[in-house]
Amino acid sequence: MTIVLRSVDPDQNRYREYGMDIQPGLFNEWCLTRWWHRIGQKAQKLEMWFDSLEAAEQARNSVLVQRSKNGYAVVTQTPPHV
């Protein structure tokens, strides 16, 4: 499932986007890919590997809560690929 969040505040010159996606690996592991950038700029990316889908989802949900507290709002959410 891909989730994209945005935090836009023109008064503070803040135009940020943050995304997360969970994909299966080749050997029964799961990858949580996170990316972030200023809107219109090149993104930075971080991959985190987990032994189970549940662990990857828990990490994603933890980041989602943290980003929501920092002013991000969900703008796109796609269904899981699995």
CATH number (domain holding residue 50): 2.20.140.10
Task: Show the domain range for 28.
Answer: 2-77
User: What confidence score (pLDDT) does residue 81 get?
Assistant: 57
User: What confidence score (pLDDT) does residue 77 get?
Assistant: 81
User: What confidence score (pLDDT) does residue 80 get?
Assistant: 65
Is 36 domain-assigned?
Answer: yes
User: What confidence score (pLDDT) does residue 78 get?
Assistant: 81
Give the distance between the most distant pair of CA atoms in the chain.
47
Q: What is the pTM of this model?
A: 0.87
Is 12 domain-assigned?
Answer: yes
Is 27 domain-assigned?
Answer: yes
User: What confidence score (pLDDT) does residue 75 get?
Assistant: 94
Is 49 domain-assigned?
Answer: yes
Is 82 domain-assigned?
Answer: no
Q: Which residues contact 46 (CB under 8 A, 6 or more apart)?
A: 33, 34, 35
Alpha helices in 1-82 (DSSP H): 53-69
Strand locations in the chain, DSSP E? Answer: 2-9, 14-24, 30-38, 44-50, 73-77
How far apart CA 62 and CA 80 sit, in angstroms, is 18
* Tally of domains within the chain: 1
Blockwise average pLDDT, block size 10, the chain, 82 residues: 94 96 96 97 98 97 96 86 53
Is 38 domain-assigned?
Answer: yes
